[in-house]
Amino acid sequence: MTEVADQFTEEQSGEVARISHWIAGKRVEGTSGRSGPVYNPALGVQTGEVDFASVEELDAAVQAAKRAFESWRSMSLSRRTELFFRIRELVHDHSEDIARLLTLEHGKVLSDAKGEVARGLEVIEFCCGIPELLKGGYSEQASTGIGTLTPTMPALTSNWNCRATPPSRVKRATPFPYGFSLTSRTASS
């Protein structure tokens, strides 16, 4: 704990930073008039004040996310993968800075913030492999005499059926004529 306190003692200027919103790629100052304190857990001092969003700010953020999703959705898989690899490199190169920001803006202990950045990096690395996962695939002999076919999403919109077996603990997307057969195999394994 002392290494965290020593590190932030030099950076602590005594000023309380205002933490505003990030909407549609821009910093947006909160207008609700409400905010909450953020503390540096190593020193126990207030380092920031986070703006609480108004209903209008929240709606603006949701609408911006919907617009961003449409452009992301129309982007090719190869371009998305390229972006994820770039994001991975940036997070890896700046992991220490990101952890310090998490401590300052979210009140996390530095060691916990570093762990959070590492877990986030694992998620980004998983996303880098999404094109491989989206291809679907076939596994021969997943069980004795049974292969498994993992379709791509467009296949699910055509002739596939989704069934749940009692007591609704097992769900399976299956081709229409084989719903019960494949569902029962899933339930029995």
What's the pLDDT tens digit per position in 150-182?
766 554 444 444 433 344 343 444 443 333 334
pLDDT of residue 34: 95
Amino acid present at 49: E
In the predicted structure, residue 144 carries a pLDDT above the cut 80: no
Counting Cβ atoms within 10 Å, is residue 35 exposed (0-12), middle (13-18) or buried (19+)?
A: middle
pTM listed for this prediction: 0.58
- Parallel/antiparallel/unpaired status of strands 17-19 and 45-51: parallel
pLDDT score for 130: 81
Q: What is the mean pLDDT of residues 87-105?
A: 91
| Angular region, 121: left φ>0, alpha ψ -120 to 50, beta rest | alpha
With a CB cutoff of 8 Å and minimum separation 6, the contacts of 1 are: 42, 109
Residue-wise pLDDT tens digits, 12-50: 456 888 989 999 999 999 999 999 998 877 778 888 899
Lowest mean pLDDT among 45-54, 55-64, 70-79, 125-134: 125-134
Average pLDDT, whole number, for the chain? 75
**What whole-number percentage of the chain has pLDDT above 70?**
71
